[in-house]
Chains A and B, each alone.
Chain A
Amino acid sequence: MKPGYLALVLHAHLPFVREIEDDDSLQQHWLFEAITETYIPLLLVFDNLIRDRIDFRLTFSITPTLASMLGNPLLQSRYLVRLERLIELTDKEVTRTRTDPQFAPLARMYQALFGSIHEAFVHRYKKDLLGAFHRLQTLGYLEIIASAATHGYLPLLAVNEAAVRAQIKVGVEQYRQSFGRMPAGFWLPECGYFSGVDALLDEVGIRFTILETHGITRAHERPRYGVHAPVHCPSGVAAFGRDPDSSRQVWSAGDGYPGDYDYREFYRDIGYDLDHDYIKPYILPSGVRIDTGIKYHRITGKGDPKDPYVPEWAERKAEIHAEHFLDEQIKQIECSGRLMDRKPLTVAPYDAELFGHWWFEGPRWLDHLIRKTAARQDVIRLVTPSDYLSEHPVNQTCTPCDSSWGYKGYNEVWLNGKNDWIYPHLHAAGLMIEDLAARYPAPKGSALRTLNQAARELLLAQASDWAFMISSGQMEDYASRRIKSHLAHFHRLKEQVESGVVDQEWLESIEKQDNIFREIETFAAFRISSSEV
């Protein structure tokens, strides 16, 4: 049998949360629970693999917004406070459940788990999770790829080429500052590809990106190997296609692995289940209940009655599912390898937050999968897209099909009757900043500061998260307010720079509030490069 390759890609992203808002705001809570449940558990999986001398290669994207928050000292210290409060809650839970034979061991499990997360955050990683990921890249285990500045959904920003270019340029520059090198790969937010975006990636030195399955299968000309080998876009940037089987095995809401009845039930959190007076210090100050991360039940079945979680059963399932996944990969390699003149490749991209946050046992599954793959190196090996391109620099040239990984595969999630009001405003602001870039070729002093902040505000308004939240009805008001406030700031900053009267005090407060990309010339990124003028 001809051997083959597996490229696992984890995409880590959260929208930019303003530190100036309430200490305990729900939005900061997203970041904190992702750190506790996903980022640190994954780092610990990787560290343990290295300790056990397991050979692995994984691709990881950390978006500029997430990287900026992980590196923010204020958010780091707030996270620590939050984590310590959570540990205090687990202490109370151990006492509360001490006579219950089913729940007492689970309370102790969370006490130990969060204790180890605390130990890792404070002592092992010294609060610097970005540095921990950077180290894994330096050691050669991870290939970290760049992404767009604020996760802008590029196909719907493409009306303004300058806007797309700025999302890419700022994202790449932020990567360079975070990781001390230029990225080879670029994660297109939501896998959103449009014909021509590859040329803009090529401009900044990107060598590959990753598309949804039909971005490749519906490419023109028709790809010879489906998604089992990359294609080169007309610009020369390689496009790797998502493998549909491995997506479904892990993702499918109905019968994907995470839905197994032995796994932990996400929706039974003590933040919602326990007496309000008891849980009040650990939910939002307003009294609004939120997930605490302490969940005592397993999925059990389709109905509402849920049985207590049994960690040993879940661990067993994680191993079985890893074995199954690997087994299917090997079958696929065997099959597609017969139809190819080269070793077949499977590209399996996932949201990183699936692992640990949504799917509690996800990091365990990944750990088992990597160990089992290491034991089958005669037939399958983990690679990154860069590794693959080094071995196979010659690939078919095609124009991929415009596509995304959203529902129905195109733009509908980010453009529909609920959120279409966004685009006239984003596009108008895009035109305005192009115009400003032409009129202010070399701004200095407070004009430069004002224009850079205006550019930051526009970038923040462009985040795909807002359109998604409005579309899904989740945090709809918050998302609308974020778009409107960033655009309102943009317009006011523009007026001030044009009138020559900059309100310094207000500018400072806005810089402090939306304090992302402080070290980047964001305004210059919107300028059409001199070669094209």
Chain B
Amino acid sequence: MDEYNLPESYGKTRLVVLAVDPYLIHAYWEIAPPELDEAKRHSGNTKAVLRFYKRTNQGEYADWFDIDIDLQSRNWYVHLWSVEESYRVDLGLKRSDGTLFRLVPSQLVLMPRSLPAPEIDQRPARVDPTERRAETVPVPSPQQDPQQETIAPLANLFDASPIPPTPIDSAKIILEQLKTAFASRQWRWDPFEVETAGSANTHTERPATDLTAMDLTAMDETKLTTGLFSGALQSSHTKKQSDEE
């Protein structure tokens, strides 16, 4: 493959802000030289900053903070100490009185959440195959959704009868060992031992504040592990090879 060089710059003033994770933002910028010269002429003794405006729930920008930057570096990582919904950022020259000569604003950046939302607020929607747009419908009552109904056949294509289970003998022993090995990942059974299937309906009416003992979202959160895709394996392969070299 031939060697290619990309443009050093694109001649357009621009600031782009990207969320790396809920606590880290990456900003990159380009300031067209004439605009920078113009700004420096007007604002005197200044230092370059990124001014972060936090957006309130009402969509207003109430609070802000500044991060000193090196304008020549053309990009910066900013660690955040709190989780906010969204930011807008200005790149500018800060005067000694604290006022900002704005060089360029960023786009609005929506930050990902780091925890589940606190409340349960249901808005069920019906989405039919032929009509994709969501249409809000009333909350189904548990009685309308019979607990014991059998699973409908998936397709008429499958009329084969199920095969008998394969017998497992000594394997059962290893299986038991495996269960121990995976014990930490199993469901926390204790809160549910006293429940019977018949009383399950009552849970659907539980108060919205009950978020721990019987909350599926909270349980799934506790088991979350990230980075489980082939990337992890590929990285370890690379490591192995470089170890050998």
Contact = CB atoms under 8 A, between A and B. Distances in A.
Given A54-B163, A375-B163, A389-B129, A226 B231 contact: no
B117 A220 contact: yes
Which of A139, A244, A377 has the most chain B CB atoms closer than 10 A to its own CB?
A244
B204 A405 contact: no
B121 A221 contact: yes
Interface string B201-227: 101100000000011111111011111
Contacts of B142: 341
Contact of A217 (B116, B128, B226): B116
Contact of B171 (A223, A316, A481): A316
B214 A339 contact: yes
Contacts of A122: none
Given A252-B225, A415-B20, A485-B1, A381 B154 contact: yes
Contacts of A339: 200, 203, 214, 216
A25 B225 CA distance: 35
A292 interface: no
B62 interface: no
Given A217-B116, A351-B230, A391-B152, A474 B237 contact: yes
Contact of A244 (B145, B223, B236): B223
A319 B172 CA distance: 11
Given A406-B227, A481-B4, A226 B154 contact: no
Interface in A440-489: 468, 472-474, 478, 481-482, 484-485, 487-488
Given A195-B110, A371-B163, A396-B124, A415 B220 contact: no
Interface in A335-379: 335-343, 351, 353-354, 358, 368, 371-372, 374-377
Contacts of B225: 244, 247-248, 252
A474 B236 CA distance: 10
B154 A57 contact: yes
A533 interface: no
A289 B75 CA distance: 39
Chain A's interface size range is 35 or more
Contacts of A505: none
Interface in A414-429: 415-417, 420, 423-425, 427-428
B44 interface: no
B132 A335 contact: no
A342 B107 contact: no
Contact of B160 (A5, A55, A139): A55
B163 A234 contact: no
Contact of B145 (A202, A317, A342, A473): A342
B59 interface: no
A319 B171 contact: yes
B175 A411 contact: no
Interface string A185-224: 0000010001100000010010100001110111111111
Given A245-B223, A353-B230, A358-B233, A485 B2 contact: yes
Contact of A335 (B30, B187, B240): B187
Which of A195, A217, A335, A398 has the most chain B CB atoms closer than 10 A to its own CB?
A217
Given A207-B132, A324-B179, A423-B18, A410 B112 contact: yes
Interface string B1-24: 111111100101000101111101
Nearest to A472: B235
A420 B158 CA distance: 50
Contacts of A267: 237, 240
Contacts of B236: 253
A412 B22 CA distance: 11
B10 A428 contact: yes
B189 A395 contact: no
Contact of A221 (B123, B137, B171, B233): B123
B187 A487 contact: no
A253 B233 contact: yes
A324 B151 contact: no
A399 to B, nearest CB: 9
Contact of A218 (B5, B28, B113, B197): B113
Contact of A488 (B6, B204, B227): B6
B6 A395 contact: no
Contact of A338 (B116, B150, B195, B229): B195
Contacts of B24: 412
A435 to B, nearest CB: 11
Given A218-B113, A488-B6, A411 B227 contact: no
A238 interface: yes
A394 interface: yes
A236 B28 CA distance: 34
Interface in B59-81: 74-75, 77
Contact of B162 (A139, A336, A374, A420): A374
A184 to B, nearest CB: 8
Interface string A246-275: 011101110100000000001100001000
A146 B125 CA distance: 24
A280 interface: no
B162 A407 contact: no
Contacts of A149: none
Given A253-B236, A341-B201, A402-B112, 8 more contacts: A57-B155, A140-B155, A220-B117, A224-B122, A232-B127, A351-B229, A396-B125, A409-B226
9 contacts: A2-B148, A57-B155, A216-B220, A217-B221, A226-B220, A251-B232, A368-B166, A403-B112, A410-B112
The 9 closest A-B pairs by CB, nearest first: A226-B216, A407-B227, A53-B160, A236-B134, A488-B4, A402-B112, A409-B226, A55-B158, A251-B228
Interface of B: 1-7, 10, 12, 16, 18-22, 24, 26, 28, 30, 74-75, 77, 107, 110-129, 132-134, 136-137, 140, 142, 145, 147-148, 150-152, 154-155, 157-158, 160, 162-166, 168, 171, 174-175, 178-179, 181-182, 185-187, 189, 192, 195, 197, 200-201, 203-204, 214-221, 223-238, 240, 242, 244
